[in-house]
Chains A and B, each alone.
Chain A
Amino acid sequence: EDKVVQSPLSLVVHEGDTVTLNCSYEVTNFRSLLWYKQEKKAPTFLFMLTSSGIEKKSGRLSSILDKKELFSILNITATQTGDSAVYLCAVQNSGGSNYKLTFGKGTLLTVNP
């Protein structure tokens, strides 16, 4: 069974801090790893990673994948209160016709002013 483990489960920081969120996975026939940000309701897509060692960047957020060690990190620099959310990591397999997304439990990030 596919497995995604995120750490830490929760994190409290002050505005301006840099945070690193971790995601490790075990999946049969890995296809891609995705990061989502979930505030009140809908998860919002952040990044999709398929290749090792290539950093994806969007503003203050960046992410990288290590397919050999089976993990990914999401970095947020100069955090703002608006970054407070649950950050979800999900992996997709390509087994048969399933193409399922398996989510981790998420990291609850709280950024205090």
Chain B
Amino acid sequence: DTEVTQTPKHLVMGMTNKKSLKCEQHMGHRAMYWYKQKAKKPPELMFVYSYEKLSINESVPSRFSPECPNSSLLNLHLHALQPEDSALYLCASSQFQGFAEAFFGQGTRLTVV
């Protein structure tokens, strides 16, 4: 199983809503990542978890709150988002942090209205 599964595939939320994005992998990878990708731009790293601990936070606003409940799951909690946060949110995993071959999920297309 070389799959990273993200849910939901699409999400529309209001600026006052609270929602969560979920990511799951069963490859035994110990590093998991959140990326944000705007249209026609490359993915931008948001967070890295290594062995379930937050390793990198790329100065992401606090309205995005990551959580890694166990080695297979990664969540991204969203609260009070802005329309400019609308983007494709990609989850990825790799064997270890620093192991470059990362597998990406299909992403969640988020629209903030």
A interface residue numbers (CB < 8 A to B): 31-32, 34, 36, 41-45, 48, 88, 90, 92, 94, 97-101, 103-106
Contact = CB atoms under 8 A, between A and B. Distances in A.
Given A34-B100, A92-B98, 17 more contacts: A31-B100, A41-B88, A41-B106, A41-B107, A41-B109, A42-B105, A42-B106, A45-B101, A45-B104, A48-B100, A92-B100, A99-B100, A100-B45, A103-B42, A103-B44, A104-B42, A105-B42
Contact of A32 (B56, B88, B100, B107): B100
A104 B41 CA distance: 9
A101 B90 contact: no
Contacts of A104: 42
B98 A99 contact: yes
Interface residues of B, number: 21
Contact of B101 (A34, A41, A94): A34
A4 B32 CA distance: 23
B31 to A, nearest CB: 9
Q: Identify the interface centre among A34, A99, A105: most chain B CB within 10 Å of its CB.
A: A99
A103 B105 contact: no
B98 A94 contact: yes
B41 A105 contact: yes
Contacts of A97: 55, 97
B30 to A, nearest CB: 13
Nearest to A49: B100
A45 B102 contact: yes
A97 B97 CA distance: 9
